[in-house]
Structure 1
Amino acid sequence: MTMARTQHKTDVEEWLDTLDPATTPAKDARHLREIGQALTNLEDAERALEKAIADARAAGDSWTAIGAVLGTSRQAAHRKFGPKAAGRRS
């Protein structure tokens, strides 16, 4: 999921670079930059969460405890962040 968003962000940046400000009517791009920054922040937070969960598992924390912190069941936490899920995110 993160790779798809990263690729999309790269595609959008390349498209923005092709626009000619003299012929493309545009407002202040501040809000668009804020969207891009928020997307970057979200990707960074997702990576930090995945690392924190991997570190917790390596330290011996249970899926039940991790699920409780995430506000979900141990099964849902394992399904989303377990070893097989990590392979799908790569």
Structure 2
Amino acid sequence: MSKVTQHEATGLDDLDPATAPARDAVHFRRIVAARQQVSDAEDGLREAVQAAREAGDSWTIIGAAMDTTRQAAHERFGRAR
């Protein structure tokens, strides 16, 4: 089974410029940038949680910092990723 590329998954390669009118891509670019920011923030959060655990912080403290329960924090970050 072959790996699906990002363009294949989005259907961008199937767009025909003759039938799909060109539009300003400002909103598309904002969405792409926002998705990257979310990904970067998730990476930062994962690193912060790992550092907190290595420093000896409990799941209760981490959960409180995330405004969630210790169980939810552990379920999200407690497994090796």
Regarding TM over 0.5, the answer is: yes
TM-score of the superposed pair, with normalisation by structure 1: 0.71
State how many pairs are aligned: 77
Report matched runs for 1:1-90 at 5 Å: 10-11=6-7, 15-16=11-12, 19=15, 21=17, 23=18, 24-83=20-79, 86-87=80-81
Q: Deviations over 1:25-70 (max 9, x none)?
A: 0220110010011001101110110011001100111100000010
Gaps spanning 5+ residues in structure 2: where?
Answer: none
**Bigger CA radius of gyration:** 2
CA contact (8 A) 2:59 2:71 kept: yes
Aligned residues with identical type, % of pairs: 50
Gaps spanning 5+ residues in structure 1: where?
Answer: 1-6
TM-score of the superposed pair, with normalisation by structure 2: 0.78
Structure whose residues are more often helix by fraction: 1
